[in-house]
Amino acid sequence: MSKDGLIKLETELKRLKFGERPKIVAEIKRARELGDLSENAEYHAAKETQTHIERKISDLEFSLSRARPIDTDAIPTDKVYLYAKVLVKDLGDGEEIKYTIVPPDEADVDNDVISVKSPVASAMLGKAVGETVDIKVPAGTIKYEILKISRD
């Protein structure tokens, strides 16, 4: 996992533990004070939210316990590898797009940071500058030419 990915997970864990968890505990306490718990929808909703938060915390702690930082500066740029930034040209419409290839839990599709398991990334892995890739997507096939591979 990249250093940025680790920081992102640690930040999310802190937010859940020290922000969301205390809020939901207070909400459960307030809902409990309303009386009969068997028919208290607010209480049951808060308890369900608490279960989801605790599950997320547990998953993040597990991920962080197994994660090891990778020095992304040491990754070669001769071919597309994990953590590469790849500038491609869509041969269909001429549009240029810069993708960053990351592990699934670091993906942010809205910012073109895509999972290594995505059709686009998996088609580009191991390819070099100048090569073209055919990517099968639900809407058909996209053809990209790899223009540049970098770390920045």
Residue 137 DSSP SS3:
strand
> Which pTM does this prediction carry?
0.66
Query: For residue 100, which of 87, 113, 89 has the smallest C-alpha distance?
Result: 113
Strands 113-115 and 96-102: parallel
Alpha-carbon distance of 125 to 113, in angstroms, equals 14
Summarised one tens digit per residue, pLDDT across range 89-104 is 999 899 999 999 998 8
Sketch out the chain's domains with CATH numbers.
Answer: 3-66 (1.10.287.180), 72-150 (3.10.50.30)
Main-chain dihedrals φ then ψ at residue 117, nearest 5 degrees: -90, -5
Tokens of 116: 């290594």
C-alpha torsion angle, residues 5, 11, 16, 17 (rounded to 10): 120
What is the C-alpha to C-alpha distance for residues 18 and 4, in angstroms, rounded to an integer? 21
The tens digit of pLDDT for each residue in 51-97 reads: 999 999 999 999 888 888 887 777 788 999 988 999 999 998 999 99
Task: Using a pLDDT cut of 70, give the percent of the chain over it.
Answer: 100
From the list 49, 16, 46, 21, the residue with the least C-alpha distance to 33 is 46
